[in-house]
């Protein structure tokens, strides 16, 4: 059985900076076997791109919606596309 790679791009808004949110996303995505990246945006949001199986990406979204004990997620914008297997790990990138 071949699992088709899917790509998820999301922007998470709310109280998500300065609360360990990027590290939480990186750890969660890595644990789920996903690849991609997460970074802060100057707007105060957190942006992420993740690739892997649809089921694992859906699970990551559930975790991101819940956030950490110190974060408050108020909005989550998602875009789905076909995965291109562009990444080898899940990284934290500099703010953009």
Active-site residue, from 22, 31, 70, 75: 22
Active-site residue, from 31, 39, 40, 54: 40
Q: Is 75 a catalytic residue?
A: no
Q: Dump the DSSP string for 28-87.
A: HHHHTT-EEEEEE-TTS-EEEEEEE-HHHHHHHHHHHHH--TT-EEEEEEEEEEE-----
Q: Is 40 a catalytic residue?
A: yes
Residues designated catalytic: 22, 40
């Amino acid at each position: 059985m071949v699992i088709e790679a899917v790509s998820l791009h999301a922007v998470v808004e709310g109280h998500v900076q300065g609360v360990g949110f990027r590290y939480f996303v990186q750890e969660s995505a890595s644990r789920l076997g996903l690849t991609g990246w997460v970074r802060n945006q100057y707007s105060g949001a957190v942006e992420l791109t993740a690739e892997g199986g649809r089921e694992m990406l859906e699970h990551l979204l559930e975790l991101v919606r819940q956030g950490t004990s110190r974060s408050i997620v108020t909005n989550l914008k998602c875009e789905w596309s076909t995965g291109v297997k562009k990444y080898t790990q899940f990284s934290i990138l500099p703010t953009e």
